[in-house]
C-alpha cells in the first residue's frame, strides 16, 4: 500500500537532538514520529546500537506502516549483559549503518529520519562528531533529522536547531525495580 501524500509542506528541515542521562530520548523521537505520521509524513527510524533485544517499539511501529519504517542496524548494546561480540563488530555495524543512512537521507523517500542511539555510537568511538556534522551538511533542506542518545558531541548540539536534554531526577531502578515491558522497552 502506498502512503497518502503529505498533508503539509516542510518549510525547513530541522536538526533535532534528544540527549542526556535521563530516560525518554527514544520516546520523544517516537512521539515526534507519531505526530509526523498524523500529517502523512514518511519517517525512517534507524537504530544504531539496539539490535539484539526485542523492544515494544518494534511491534508498535509496524502499526504505523506504510508511513514509518524501523531498521535495526546495531549489533546490540556494547559490553553489557549478554554481549560477547568484539568491539570491532559493533564499530563496523555503526560505520555501515552511517553509510546506508547517507543514501536514505538523500533518496527523497523520507520526510523525517530518526537516528536512535547514534550519540552512543560516538561515545563508544565508533563514529565521530565530524561524521555527524557531515551528515547534517548533506541533509536535504526538506528533511527533518532527529538524533538521540546519551553524550551528544557539543559540535552537533551547536549545529542543531532544537536540543532537549533529558535529566534523571528519580528512577525505579534506584529502588531495585527492574525494567518493565511497555515502559522501559
Q: What are the structural domains, with CATH classification, of the chain?
A: 15-167 (3.40.50.300)
CA-atom Rg of the chain in angstroms: 16
The residue that leads in pLDDT, 132 or 81, is 132
> pLDDT-derived band of residue 81, with 50, 70 and 90 as boundaries?
low
Q: Give the model's pLDDT for residue 5.
A: 92
What pLDDT, on the 0 to 100 scale, is given for residue 52?
58
Query: Which pLDDT score is estimated for 80?
Result: 58
d(CA 89, CA 180): 29
SS3 58: helix
**pLDDT tens-place string over residues 10-68:** 999 999 999 999 999 999 999 999 999 999 999 999 988 765 566 778 889 999 999 99
Instruction: Identify whether the C-beta of residue 133 lies closer than 8 Å to the C-beta of residue 3.
Output: no
The pLDDT tens digits for 162-172 are: 999 999 999 88
Reported as a pLDDT band with limits 50, 70 and 90, residue 130 is: very high
Dump pLDDT digits (tens) for 83-112: 566 778 878 888 999 999 999 999 999 999
The confidence score (pLDDT) of residue 82 equals 62
Q: Please tell me what DSSP assigns to residue 1.
A: -
Per-residue pLDDT at 25: 96
Q: Give the pLDDT confidence of 135-152 residue by residue, as tens digits.
A: 999 999 999 999 999 999
Amino acid at each position: 500500500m502506498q502512503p497518502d501524500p503529505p498533508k503539509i509542506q516542510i518549510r525547513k528541515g530541522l536538526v533535532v537532538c534528544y540527549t542526556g542521562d535521563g530516560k525518554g530520548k527514544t520516546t520523544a523521537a517516537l512521539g515526534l514520529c507519531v505526530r509526523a505520521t498524523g500529517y502523512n509524513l514518511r519517517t525512517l527510524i534507524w537504530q544504531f546500537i539496539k539490535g539484539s533485544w526485542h523492544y515494544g517499539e518494534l511491534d508498535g511501529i509496524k502499526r504505523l506502516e506504510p508511513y514509518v519504517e524501523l531498521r535495526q542496524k546495531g549489533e546490540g548494546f556494547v559490553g553489557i549483559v549478554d554481549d560477547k561480540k568484539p568491539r570491532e563488530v559493533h564499530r563496523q555495524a555503526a560505520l555501515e549503518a552511517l553509510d546506508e543512512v547517507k543514501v536514505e537521507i538523500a533518496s527523497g523517500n523520507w520526510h523525517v529520519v530518526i537516528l536512535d542511539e547514534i550519540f552512543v555510537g560516538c561515545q563508544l568511538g565508533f563514529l565521530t562528531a565530524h561524521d555527524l556534522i557531515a551528515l547534517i551538511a548533506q541533509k536535504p533542506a526538506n528533511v527533518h533529522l532527529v538524533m538521540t542518545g546519551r553524550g551528544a558531541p557539543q559540535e552537533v548540539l551547536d549545529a542543531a536547531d532544537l536540543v532537549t536534554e533529558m535529566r534523571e531526577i528519580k528512577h525505579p531502578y534506584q529502588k531495585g525495580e527492574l525494567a518493565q515491558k511497555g515502559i522501559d522497552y
